[in-house]
A and B are shown apart, each in its own frame.
Chain A
Amino acid sequence: MAINIGYFMSESIQSFRRNWVMSLGAVITIYLSLLLVGASLASSMIVGQVVRSVEEKVSIRVFLKDGAAPADVDAMNKALVADARVKDVTYTSKEKALEEFKLTMADSPEIIDQLEVNPLPASLDVDLEKPQDVTAVVEMIKANPNFIKVADRPDDPEKSLKYGQQIVNQLFAFTRVLRAVGVVFIVMLAVISLIFINNTIRIAIYARRKEIGIMRLVGASNWFIRTPFLLEGTLQSLLGAFLALLTLGSIQWFVMPKVKEIISFMPVSLSVGSSVQISLILVLSGVIIGLAGSAVALRRYLKV
């Protein structure tokens, strides 16, 4: 058996060298398709994280008018706390709101300096158990009679509320489109890779038809004849998979830190677990594409 493995390997490598243009073509298409698979997996994981973090930040702010009766505010607060969908309610006073504003505007203090009175309203900040409940809770708040009493803009209740449902919906729509486009591209590239491997193996079989004839003649077993070709297809796609991993890895190491600097407010990095998961998926799909492509070619072109 030890001789066989050495023999199969050298046969495959020799065949690769003899037919390097086609083999390289196969490697490159597999590389590109697996790169795309990896990139879309990684980006959907990252987008998922971003969505989750945005969802976590989904809270409802109820802006209060200046001089709202504390009893009414308290009643509103109690109604919110009593709701099972609400995790937590915090009161932000006008002063605290201004402080927070000053913090976010620390880069341009002149804006703050120009303020003569505090223009910011106080607010009740509502955290939810589940982000999907945003709309329902908003409706609940609007229906509460105390809301009109305390709202910053009783004439336009909608403007007295701020919530992030819109962003989440847009993100979800975006990821759905991304996923669909990704799947279509990946399927197309997978088919192209299969055709390429099929072709290289066909040519490899043709190039070695004399050897194959003699092997059949002297009684080499069917698997002995087939294995070098299966190995060749698998090696090609493994090579493509490793190149794709290398590319994704260098993006992860060299490009992502810069991206993170630019959009520091979003969690755009991949965890080690996700990276390992992606690597495994790439290598496995590489092996599957390679084996499938060469197996199809063997069935069609190699009669044993």
Chain B
Amino acid sequence: MISMRNVSKTYGADKPALYDVNVEIEQGEFVFLVGHSGSGKSTFIRLMQRELLPSEGTIVVAGQDLTKMKNWKVPYLRRNIGCVFQDFKLLPNKTTYENVAFALEVIGRSKHVIRTQVPEVLRLVGLEEKINSYPDELSGGEQQRVSIARAFVNRPPLLLADEPTGNLDPATSLGIMSLFSRINKTGTTVLVATHDREMVDSMRKRVIALENGRVIRDQDRGVYGYGD
């Protein structure tokens, strides 16, 4: 699903944000990407979305070499990648339903598809009751569920999450993580960048640890594992 070979990323003349990263992630895996702030997690995620290009190395996502991809093809890559962020990125003037439907509208899905898929995914994330609520009427956890619904409504084979529980309390975070787990069980590859120690330790999934832009550990059924 994801294959990074000798990937480095340098911003300007600074020391590299990522250095010689080699990672293989198979279809259907659930992977945590852990590390302190500034360890390169966000750069990693943005490289996956081809928001950035690596300074060196090759990245293959869903069978496509991102370093050779033409700019106009990037939107079609992103249709295969769901993204969830710490700040939810919901549109405040749209309801739950409209926020999710928006993701389908702008890639040209028909009204019929929208009318069937949106309620379905909102049921999956447990928000069928809040379908007409606006984001400011929802709790943080509910907003994150809307954003997950939006990321997943198009059934992408890959779901990326950058600090999805960064703004949420532990109990709510647990709910979000179990939702990711459920999505993973449908066959979607899930990559979660986080520094939420409890979460990682309790889930016992594969853990890739970054420090100063290098992969320092890659273990199955791992733990957060930093000594601080």
Contact = CB atoms under 8 A, between A and B. Distances in A.
Contact of B77 (A3, A219, A225): A219
B49 to A, nearest CB: 8
A218 B89 contact: no
Interface in B46-105: 49, 71-72, 75-81, 83, 89, 91, 102-103, 105
A190 to B, nearest CB: 32
Contacts, number: 55
B186 interface: no
Nearest to B78: A219
A211 B80 CA distance: 19
A4 B105 CA distance: 9
A210 interface: yes
A219 B154 CA distance: 11
Query: Top 4 A-B pairs ranked by shortest CB distance?
Result: A219-B79, A219-B78, A220-B106, A218-B103
Q: Number of contact residues on A: which range applies?
A: 10 to 19
A224 B108 contact: yes
Interface string A201-214: 00000000011011
13 contacts: A211-B102, A218-B78, A218-B103, A218-B107, A218-B150, A219-B80, A219-B107, A220-B75, A220-B107, A221-B75, A222-B71, A222-B75, A225-B106
B111 interface: yes
Nearest to A214: B89
A98 to B, nearest CB: 85
A216 interface: yes
Interface string B144-167: 000000110010000000000000
Contacts of B116: none
A87 B125 CA distance: 94
Contacts of A216: 75, 78
A217 B78 contact: yes
Contact of A3 (B79, B89, B111, B154): B111
B91 A219 contact: no
Contacts of A221: 72, 75-76, 107
Contacts of B151: 218
Nearest to B79: A219
Nearest to A7: B105
A214 B107 contact: no
A28 B108 CA distance: 35
Given A3-B105, A210-B91, A219-B79, 10 more contacts: A211-B102, A215-B106, A216-B75, A218-B79, A218-B102, A219-B75, A219-B76, A221-B72, A224-B106, A224-B107
Contacts of B81: 219
A216 B83 CA distance: 11
A218 B153 CA distance: 10
Contacts of B106: 214-215, 218, 220, 224-225
Nearest to B109: A3
A224 B78 CA distance: 14
Nearest to B94: A211
